[in-house]
């Protein structure tokens, strides 16, 4: 085929019609297009998204391809390679954590609402999408991550007084539960919890991470304060059950985080309904939709609902989150959808926030 050669400018012009639905800007001005190669009628480039867990990845791929095929004369073969690079929310001022891009806190009002289950599944889903993920179990009262994410390699102390995180399902792990042997409880006053959390944040060789998910204890205590005072948290996820009493307490945790200016990334409703394993019927044991209504009235994203499903409990107890063990099951899909929405929220905020540091005048 002859005719004028295709230029990079032509391709970029064509791609300007493709909008990122969350950031409301076109993918060219967002700087997503990388590594463009043009050989004859073949055009190849990368679309570098803000998260590998992007829920609109396939749509953007198709739109980019179509835009070039339709608007660039002579282009007959368009090869779109989807890549991702997670942008940093705010530059953490703590040098030990400078390799961690986004810290996501998972909190709840009361205990027993499945906060750790949600944290483990979010972390595992993010990792399976290709992101570099760490999970810090900061629940001093009931550290359950060591059970839910059974480690391939356990965490271990190193000679220089730092800790090498364990690894399970592609997630780097550290738990306050590792700090005491076996079945011993942690009996700590506030200052001990404060020191321990700081060590878990700053004394662990997290390495390069796109997301560090922190599983908080229930409520609003020392650990929460230490976290929000030690590091800039990109945002928080609140887990609640649908019934009123759980929800009302969850709102207290939410307001505490708002008071310390931690952005609320969204609410997850857990134990939303019971899926009968025999007949598949849906039973709403704790009522339904409470968290969604609360999210709407507080203008906070509602990330999704998770069924009360025996498979979630079974896989948790065996050490593999359901989103990894059965990704296509109703519960696995629910967790993956929530993870996608969460990653979207983090990306939107990373573009909005600018790092704030004190400058000398």
Partner 1 sequence: MAPLTPEQTTPVGLRKKGGERFTVAWADGHESVYGARYLRGRCPCAQCVSEMTGQRLVFEDHVNPDVAVAAARTVGQYALHFDWSDGHTTGIYSYDYLRRICPCDACMSALEGGPA
Positions in the binding site for partner 1 (CB under 8 A)? 90, 93, 227-233, 259-262, 354, 356-361
- CA 47 to CA 31: how far, in whole Å? 9
**Looking at beta carbons only, is 179 or 236 nearer to partner 1?**
236
**Looking at beta carbons only, is 71 or 258 nearer to partner 1?**
258
The HSE-up count of residue 347 (CA atoms within 13 Å, CB side) is: 25
Nearest distance, CB of residue 92 and partner 1, angstroms = 10
**Looking at beta carbons only, is 1 or 359 nearer to partner 1?**
359
**Looking at beta carbons only, is 261 or 278 nearer to partner 1?**
261
- CA 152 to CA 164: how far, in whole Å? 13
What Å distances lie between residue 259 and 57, 107, 220, 228, CA to CA?
Answer: 34, 15, 12, 10
Helix (H) or strand (E) holding 227: helix 222-230
* Backbone φ, ψ for residue 258 (5° rounding): -65, -40
Nearest distance, CB of residue 1 and partner 1, angstroms = 53
Nearest distance, CB of residue 196 and partner 1, angstroms = 18
Instruction: Please name the residue that has the structure tokens 């220089």.
Output: 160
Nearest distance, CB of residue 261 and partner 1, angstroms = 4
Nearest distance, CB of residue 234 and partner 1, angstroms = 10
- CA 151 to CA 167: how far, in whole Å? 6
Q: Which residues on neighbouring strands pair with residue 175, listed in sequence order?
A: 137
Nearest distance, CB of residue 230 and partner 1, angstroms = 7
The HSE-up count of residue 141 (CA atoms within 13 Å, CB side) is: 14
Nearest distance, CB of residue 93 and partner 1, angstroms = 6
Number of Cβ atoms within 10 Å of the Cβ of 270:
25
**Looking at beta carbons only, is 138 or 227 nearer to partner 1?**
227
**Looking at beta carbons only, is 288 or 349 nearer to partner 1?**
349
- CA 53 to CA 302: how far, in whole Å? 17
- CA 304 to CA 216: how far, in whole Å? 20
**Looking at beta carbons only, is 59 or 352 nearer to partner 1?**
352
**Looking at beta carbons only, is 233 or 325 nearer to partner 1?**
233
Number of Cβ atoms within 10 Å of the Cβ of 187:
8
Number of Cβ atoms within 10 Å of the Cβ of 65:
18
Nearest distance, CB of residue 200 and partner 1, angstroms = 16
C-alpha 72: how far from chain center: 37
- CA 291 to CA 339: how far, in whole Å? 17
């Amino acid at each position: 085929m002859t005719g004028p050669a295709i230029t990079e400018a032509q391709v970029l012009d064509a791609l300007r019609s493709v909008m990122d639905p969350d950031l409301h800007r076109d993918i060219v001005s967002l700087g997503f297009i990388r590594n463009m190669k043009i050989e004859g009628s073949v055009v190849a480039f990368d679309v570098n998204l803000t998260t590998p867990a992007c829920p609109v990845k396939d749509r953007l791929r198709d739109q980019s391809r179509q835009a070039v095929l339709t608007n660039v004369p002579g282009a007959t073969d368009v090869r779109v390679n989807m890549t991702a690079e997670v942008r940093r929310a705010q530059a953490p001022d703590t040098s030990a954590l400078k390799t961690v891009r986004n810290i996501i806190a998972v909190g709840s009002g009361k205990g027993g609402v499945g906060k750790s289950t949600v944290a483990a599944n979010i972390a595992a889903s993010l990792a399976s999408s290709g992101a570099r993920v760490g999970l810090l179990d900061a629940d001093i009262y009931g550290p359950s991550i060591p059970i839910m994410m059974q480690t391939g390699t356990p965490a271990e102390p190193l000679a220089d007084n730092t800790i090498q995180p364990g690894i399970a399902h592609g997630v780097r792990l550290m738990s306050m539960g590792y700090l005491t042997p076996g079945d011993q409880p942690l009996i700590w006053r506030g200052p001990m919890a404060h020191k321990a959390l700081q060590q878990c944040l700053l004394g662990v060789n997290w390495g390069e991470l796109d997301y560090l998910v922190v599983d908080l204890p229930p409520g609003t205590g020392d650990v929460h304060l230490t976290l929000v005072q030690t590091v800039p948290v990109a945002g928080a996820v609140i887990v609640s059950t649908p019934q009123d009493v759980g929800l009302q307490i969850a709102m207290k945790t939410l307001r505490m985080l708002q008071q310390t200016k931690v952005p609320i990334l969204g609410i997850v409703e857990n134990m939303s309904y019971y899926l009968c394993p025999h007949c598949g019927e849906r039973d709403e044991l704790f009522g339904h939709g409470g968290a969604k209504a609360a999210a709407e009235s507080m203008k906070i994203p509602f990330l999704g609902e998770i069924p009360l499903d025996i498979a979630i409990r079974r896989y948790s107890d065996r050490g593999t989150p359901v989103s990894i063990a059965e990704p296509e099951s109703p519960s696995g899909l629910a967790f993956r959808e929530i993870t996608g929405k969460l990653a979207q929220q983090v990306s939107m905020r990373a573009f909005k926030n600018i790092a704030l540091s004190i400058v000398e005048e």
